[in-house]
Amino acid sequence: DVQLLESGGGLVQPGGSLTLSCAASGFTFRVHGMIWVRQAPGKGLEWLSYIRRSSSGAATFSADSVKGRFTISRDDSKNTLYLHMDSLRAEDTAVYFCVRKQSQVFTMDVWGQGTTVTVSS
């Protein structure tokens, strides 16, 4: 079964940092670009960051709302995607989803169940 399993969420104070992980299984992780999407409580989905596959240099791209604060990265040897978040704000409180980009097309096809991040003092 193709599966994405996020972890690392929790309660963090404003201004703090947190790193999320996403363990992939059931598919060849290294050939897929990967994405982070979040959903604030009662709100819609927001695309955050994308990382290309390593053979394409693992280039990264981020939404303006998190550029300079969030860093996406990957470790193909561990089949794991990461999101390092700095300077966290209350408005970063959300469920964070790890998503697979379908090969050769620009479609987000497989989603993890999400991990919850709460930024509060």
Partner 1 sequence: QSALTQPRSVSGSPGQSVTISCTGTSSDVGGYNYVSWYQQHPGKAPRIMIYDVSKRPSGVPDRFSGSKSGNTASLTISGLQAEDEAEYYCSSYAGTYTWVFGGGTKLTVL
Q: Summarize as ranges the residues that interact with partner 1 (CB under 8 A).
A: 33, 35, 37, 44-47, 50, 52, 59, 61, 63-65, 97, 102, 105-109, 111-114
Q: Per the structure block, which two tokens stand in for 56?
A: 């394409």
Closest by alpha carbon to 58, among 79, 72, 68, 48?
Answer: 72
Of 30 and 52, which CB lies nearer to partner 1 in the complex structure? Answer: 52
Of 47 and 84, which CB lies nearer to partner 1 in the complex structure? Answer: 47
Phi-psi map region of 114: left, alpha, beta (phi>0 left; psi -120 to 50 alpha): left
105's CB contacts (< 8 A; 6+ apart) are none
Question: Three-state DSSP class for 114?
Answer: coil
Q: How far is the CB of 86 from partner 1 (least distance, A)?
A: 20
**Could you tell me how far CA 101 lies from the centroid of its own chain?**
12
Q: How far is the CB of 117 from partner 1 (least distance, A)?
A: 16
Of 12 and 37, which CB lies nearer to partner 1 in the complex structure? Answer: 37
Q: How far is the CB of 94 from partner 1 (least distance, A)?
A: 13
Q: 């690392």: which residue's tokens?
A: 8
Of 6 and 88, which CB lies nearer to partner 1 in the complex structure? Answer: 6
